[in-house]
Structure 1
């Protein structure tokens, strides 16, 4: 897998008073395609897929609030609804009436929620290992969720930001989380995912408070209700070696009107990095007739 040197355009929009960043691959006359990254990730994680898809689509990849080069939401718990609102702001700022969406992990849940809340605004939806709420999963009681959240915030307030001597050290940390990555892939992710500190060291760009899970998240019933409202063709892509359950075995598929499931063998949760060409082929075939 090679990532070309042609750099996309770095752009910004406003949402809830925040200055949010997105990466724009051009081809503005083509149908718009949003690529929505997962938690603690960033928009340039999509570069390999974006370069290939930009021939047929106006590819736009936002940095979700608190991620990448987007602003941090002081005092926010970064709820799913906040991220969904930011997508509506991005679509409005760019004049996108209807978009195709590819979302990974948490970005998949954001994309599913957006498509369920605004079904008329999505032409097609691809979710890469991104269904994280299942019929068999039962949430903790509200008092426990709030107590856990408060404790997490206290711990994060005392936590020192980790500093790495070089970007290469950050790349090693990424490989430690996903050994399937090549060194070139890890360096690309670290280069765009890290910032230089005043002392010359490097730290991750994302807001550490993203690690505190909001206690007021959507219920399973809320999610099922949203999934059932999705009107566009939907492709759920599962990875054979992911830590997430298979959507079919977990009883997810029956809650969609127009969903199909594809499975990628030999891939973990970051399947677009583990099997990039296979994932790209699935996406291109599924989105082939988007107007």
Structure 2
């Protein structure tokens, strides 16, 4: 686990002990109607090539609308947004992407923050977001938020704003913790066993097992073994052995060249008030800082509808005050 101004490594699937989904033995947990309807909403799956790697993205609506790019955390994928994105599809050209080395995107021999930022811009370009008179907005969780802080510093003039969700840029005095060593992927004999090993990291309670189960299934892939077929995690377990961080998040946050809003889970151990105050100090301006009640680090899983409502409010305010490209 990292702290300070480095990256928060919330890789899913690493713990080998049984997780909360093990009790379902491969069955889908009961889920509310809103969730069933949301994940049944159709989307298009496409890829854009960035520095030789295919980057996966999903699109729910039309490029005739203002762009809204949704970005996941480390070890995750675009499907974390499948039950969030439909709530914005009527108003926005809403797209969720998957970084290289994760989900359905290609793996690389080397990784760096600048390339991840380029992937965000490439997806915006591929989906027509820069062709609309309103500039796009990026909403990003955890590790994706750190990438988006870089994107906001380097490409902010092309964006209407960024929303950073539970991505802590820590003050220098906050205690550092040692990072957990990344293990090679284990291959599980069947899907129920694999699902039973899925846990959130950093560890936290999550009552919405239906959401956990959904993203866990998209986090796995079938592979061939000597004894038949098995299941393993999609993300590249060696990313952090072949990764270049680049500039510090604190310096990049100060360089943000577009509007910015900060979200956190109110119960997130990663985003206490001192982190909030430090990030606001770095920005040297008053920015929206939204705390989602009864949510931990994985805000979209803990309180998805509260998250949707809060994000809608921020976006509506920004849309109302946003200048068009013609007026610039």
- Alignment of structure 1 residues 59-208 onto 2, 5 Å: 59-74=94-109, 76=110, 78-97=111-130, 98-136=135-173, 160-175=184-199, 177-198=203-224, 199-208=228-237
Match of 1:265 among 279, 293, 307: 293
Query: Following the alignment from structure 1 to structure 2, what is the Cα–Cα distance between the partners of residues 56 and 276?
Result: 18
Query: Following the alignment from structure 1 to structure 2, what is the Cα–Cα distance between the partners of residues 81 and 258?
Result: 27
**Runs of at least 5 residues in structure 2 that lack an aligned partner in the other structure:** 1-31, 323-328
**Helix, strand or coil at the partner of 1:130:** coil
Once superposed, what is the RMSD of the aligned Cα atoms?
2.7
**Runs of at least 5 residues in structure 1 that lack an aligned partner in the other structure:** none
Residues 228-257 of structure 1, C-alpha deviation per residue, up to 9 Å, x if partnerless? 232433211122322313265451111224
Q: Which has the higher contact order (CA 8 A, sep 6+)?
A: 2
TM-score by length of 1: 0.84
Query: Following the alignment from structure 1 to structure 2, what is the Cα–Cα distance between the partners of residues 35 and 267?
Result: 19
- Alignment of structure 1 residues 27-38 onto 2, 5 Å: 27-38=62-73
Query: Following the alignment from structure 2 to structure 1, what is the Cα–Cα distance between the partners of residues 234 and 196?
Result: 16
Residues 123-181 of structure 1, C-alpha deviation per residue, up to 9 Å, x if partnerless? 122111013443435989xxxx9xx9xxx6xxx6xx55212233333333335644414
Alpha-carbon shift at residue 6 of structure 1 (Å): 2.4
Query: Following the alignment from structure 2 to structure 1, what is the Cα–Cα distance between the partners of residues 74 and 306?
Result: 23
Alpha-carbon shift at residue 201 of structure 1 (Å): 1.5
- 2:241 aligns with 212
Kindly indicate which of the two structures has a greater share of residues assigned to helix: 1
1:12–1:21 Cα contact (<8 Å) kept: yes
Could you tell which deviates more after superposition, 280-289 or 123-132? 123-132
Alpha-carbon shift at residue 190 of structure 1 (Å): 1.6
